[in-house]
Amino acid sequence: MCETKVMKLMQKASFLRIHGDDDFKIIDCYQICGFKLEIGVDPSSGRGYGSLVWEAALGLCQYFEKEGIRFSDKKVIELGAGTGIVSILVALLGGDVTITDKPELLSGIERNVSFNIPSSFKPQVKVRALRWGLDINQFPSDYDYILCSDIMYIHDSIPLILETLLHLSNEKTTIYFASTLSYGKNVTRLGHVTLSQYFQTELVCRYGFKDINVYRMCLNTPTTLQLHI
C-alpha cells in the first residue's frame, strides 16, 4: 500500500459532538480492515494523553490491514491501550484480547468496547488495569501477541516497559511495537536500543510522513543470544 493511500486512511476521521455525554465529547470515526470504528475521545477530560487516538496506533492498525494479519484464536494483550482502538480492531479480527492501561482510563476503554464490539465477540475481550512493572504478576506469560503503540516517550518508563514485556512474553510471542519517533525522540530511540538487547527486533513498516516505525519483536533465546556475541 503506497504511503499516499495510507495517509488518507489514517487521516480519515469525522467528528461528531455527543451532547449530554460526560465521558465522550467527540466520536472519531475510522474505516479500517473493513470495519467502521467509532472511538470516543475527550481532550478536556483530565485523563491526559490516554483519552486521545495516537498516530502510531493508527499506523499499527494500517499495518495489520496492509499485511492482511488476522488474530483468530490468538491470545493478545495490549499495553497502554489508551482509547483501545488497536485492541478493538484485533478483537474484530478474531483475537482473544486483554486491553490494559492505568485504572483511570478503563471506563473510557470499556465505553469504546461497548460501542464497537458486537455482543457475540464481547466474551473474548477483557479490560484490566496494568501498571508496568507493578501489576505484572497478575498476568500470565502465554500470550501469542503483545501490542504497543506510542508508549515509550518518558525515560523512566523504559525499564518498566522492558520488565513488563519480559514477564508477558515467551519464546513463541510476537510483539508489534509502533512508535512515533518525533515524540520524545531521544527517549524513543534509547528505548528501542534497550529493548533490542533482549528481543530480536525487525523494522517491518515505516510511515515517513508521520515519522512512525512499526517493529516486530520476539524474545531472544539462548541460541540467538550466542549469535549476537
pLDDT in tens, 75-90: 999 999 999 999 999 9
As a whole number of angstroms, the distance between CA 135 and CA 132 comes to 7
- For cell 482509547, name the residue: 83
Q: What's the pLDDT tens digit per position in 161-177?
A: 999 999 999 999 999 99
pLDDT of residue 121: 86
CATH 3.40.50.150 fits 48-228, yes or no: yes
- Residue-wise pLDDT for 11-50, tens only, equals 545 555 555 466 677 888 899 999 999 998 876 665 556 6
Q: 74-77: long-range contacts at Cβ-Cβ below 8 A with a sequence spacing of 24 or more? A: 74/144, 74/145, 75/142, 75/143, 75/144, 75/145, 76/143, 76/144, 76/145, 76/146, 76/147, 77/139, 77/143, 77/145, 77/146, 77/147, 77/168
Q: Any idea where the domains of the chain sit in the sequence?
A: 48-228
Helices marked H in 72-219: 85-92, 106-116, 157-168, 185-195
* Contact (CB, 8 A) for 64 and 41: no
Ranking 21-35, 112-126, 209-223 by mean pLDDT, the lowest is 21-35
